[in-house]
Structure 1
Amino acid sequence: MKKIILTVAAVFAFGLANAQDKKESNGGQTSEGKWLIEANTGFGSGVGSTALYFTSEDGNTAYNIGAEAGYFIMDDLALKAGLGFGDNGGDGPGSSAVAYKIGAKYYIKSMIPVELSYNGVSYKDFDENPSYIGIQAGYAWFLGDNVSIEPGIRYNNSLNSDFYESNIQFNIGFALHF
């Protein structure tokens, strides 16, 4: 747990050290009344997610497709929801999953996104499905008025640890702001 806290602190320190002033040309992406649509790549532990990925190994193909959307209820604070669908290429129970997420994302100084969310997975033919409380932090690089790239780190704390473990994920998010 100490390593996780230190890693999140390092991400915050990096973001603060490299902080850019909010310029008129890219200001307003996180303003009240704006919308956010995100697609993420998920690296790390295999948690059903709203991330995009595709793998193929030894004739077994696995994929996940998903996205998240949010609405800024005030400057720098968005309420978000996401859905994802994945298949691990198998035929048995748990071969396909639907993931869901609901939470809030706050942009510190309009460029350091911090997210707190509840996410879960519904596996095909499973009696016990995982659910997590996740916290994520990163940095937003705005590439104009409507696009940002947001690398980050996420810690998912399992709410049913008898069946599923807590884990860490590294993400690279691509967001549209309008």
Structure 2
Amino acid sequence: MKKIILAVVALVGFSFASHAQDDDTTRMQTAKGKWLIEANTGNETLGNTGIYFSNQDGEYIYNVGFDGGYFIADDLALKFGLGYGGDSETDLNGFSYRVGGKYYIASKFPITLDVTGAKIDNQDENPFWLGIGGGYAWFIGDHISIEPGVRYNVSLNEDFTDKDRFQINIGFVVYL
């Protein structure tokens, strides 16, 4: 875990120190009327729209999901995401969803606020989270960015879990 955190910190630091971006191009990517498609690294909990896979001692946990969004104003997108995941140890599978917004400060620093939930097969209680996140958008082309960031999820269904979740993830975003 320390190596992952160090790699993310190094990537963010490298991005700030060595990558000068053309403000006109950056603003064009997050302009009103544009679309985005996003895939993020996720975590091992069911109920997220990220991409995750873990295999330990023959037991695996996975999740596959994507988010999409539409910029209703310059730098402000409404987002919706879907995901599907499973856990071989507990034999649980579930669909997840996310609805929220993403705002780019100075067209380069995304912050997110959203709700994420899931419907897990054969479960009476399901996860429901309020999430807030922030990061840095490193635009590597006219239509692509890499977004290292952090996210904090607060459980809104204490019958499912009363434990909040902290995530470090990397997003890959395509702008259309």
Contact 1:158 1:166 in 2 (8 A): yes
After superposition, give the CA deviation of every residue in 1:48-74 in whole Å (9 maximum; x if it has no partner): 211111122111232110000000000
Question: Which 5+ residue runs of structure 2 have no aligned equivalent?
Answer: 1-12
Please state whether the residue corresponding to 2:51 is helix, strand or coil: strand
In the alignment, is residue 136 of structure 1 matched against residue 124 of structure 2? no
Which residue number corresponds to residue 11 of structure 1?
A: none
In structure 2, the residue matched to 1:154 is 151
**CA displacement at 1:91 relative to structure 2:** 5.7
Give the CA RMSD over aligned residues: 2.1
The answer as to whether partners of 2:144 and 2:172 remain within 8 angstroms in 1 is: yes
Residue type of the alignment partner of 2:175 = H
- Structure 1's unaligned 5+ residue stretches are 1-13
Change (3 A) 1:125 1:32: same
Please, which of 171, 174, 177 is the counterpart of residue 175 of structure 2?
177
More deviation, 161-170/124-133: 161-170
Pair 1:47–1:62, CA change in 2 (3 A): closer
Whether 1:35 and 2:32 are equivalent positions in the alignment is no
Separation of aligned partners in 2, 1:39 and 1:56: 21
Q: Which residue in 2 is equivalent to 1:80? A: 79
Q: Judge conservation of contact 2:21–2:139 (CA < 8 Å) in 1.
A: no
- Counterpart residue type for residue 167 of structure 1: R
Q: 1:83–1:101: 8 Å Cα contact kept in structure 2?
A: yes
Structure 1 segment 22-171 matched on structure 2, within 5 A:
22-43=22-43, 46-90=45-89, 92=91, 95-164=92-161, 165-171=163-169
Contact 1:25 1:144 (C-alpha < 8 Å) held by counterparts? no
Identity across matched positions, percent? 47
- Give how far 1:47 is off: 4.5
TM-score norm. by structure 2 comes to 0.84
For residues 118-176 of structure 1, the C-alpha deviation after alignment (integer angstroms, 9 at most, x for no partner) is 11111110011110111010000001110000011111111112431211111100000
Work out whether residues 27 and 145 of structure 1, in 8 Å CA contact, stay in contact via their aligned partners in 2: no
Q: For 2:41, give the aligned amino acid.
A: T
1:54 and 1:37 map into 2 onto residues whose CA distance is 21
- AA partner of residue 153 (structure 1): V
Which of structure 1's runs of 4+ aligned residues deviate more than 6 A?
A: none
Distance in 2 (alpha carbons) for counterparts of 1:115 and 1:91: 31
> In structure 1, what is the Cα distance between the partners aligned to 2:54 and 2:143?
30
Task: Identify which range, 161-170 or 144-153, moves more after superposition.
Answer: 161-170
Greater helix fraction, Structure 1 or Structure 2 = 2
TM-score under structure 1 length normalisation: 0.83
